[in-house]
Structure 1
Amino acid sequence: MANVEKVSVALTGEQVAALKAAVESGEYATTSEIVREAIRDWQLKRDLRQEDVRRLRQLWDEGIASGSAGEVDLPALRAEARARAKAKN
């Protein structure tokens, strides 16, 4: 591991116990290994969320660029939604 830096993290007693139990059971070699894996998972989820936001912004922009959808008849739209909901029940 190149350029390892130690940081201090505050955990609950329950979290520390879970980490120690995972090491004692042989799932992981060290608690640091568990934390590094958790950070890799967090980074992956963060990257995926950022990609989702990028894609939603792209779709939003495409929708705006496509022009107006025209007039919306809200009472008719509500009636249609109620009819669909009633049909499902």
Structure 2
Amino acid sequence: MPMVTVSISPVQAAGIRDAVDSGGYASSSEVVREALRLWDAARKLGEYKDEVLAGESHAGSGRCVADMFADHEAVRRRTA
């Protein structure tokens, strides 16, 4: 599998550690892959495109991959 280096905030790193420590994921790589799958699905559904067309920057919209991942985790915990 290709290796990619990224920088994340301490808060994001803590969230990844919490997801692994709680047993929801086997590794931090698994958490990041899931987040990327969610981002890709959202992008394909046009959410990102709709924000851009509406003139909102992604950062200014308050929504980011971490937000989408947090939403996904909350739903997953409620349905577990």
Q: How does the TM-score come out when normalised to structure 1?
A: 0.50
1:5 alignment counterpart = 2
Please, which runs of 5 or more residues in structure 2 have no aligned partner? 51-80
How far apart are 1:8 and its partner, in Å?
Answer: 0.5
Q: For each residue in 1:27-72, what CA deviation from the matched residue of structure 2 results, as whole angstroms up to 9, or x when unmatched?
A: 100010011011111111111108x87xxxxxxxxxxxxxxxxxxx
Which amino acid in 1 is paired with 2:24? E
Which amino acid in 1 is paired with 2:20? V
2:13 alignment counterpart = 16
1:42 alignment counterpart = 39
Which is helix-richer, 1 or 2? 1
Instruction: Report sequence identity in percent.
Output: 41
Please, which runs of 5 or more residues in structure 1 have no aligned partner? 54-89
CA RMSD of aligned residues (A): 1.8
2:30 alignment counterpart = 33
Which amino acid in 1 is paired with 2:18? A
Report how many residues are paired.
Answer: 49
**Partners in 2 of 1:10 and 1:36 — Cα distance?**
15
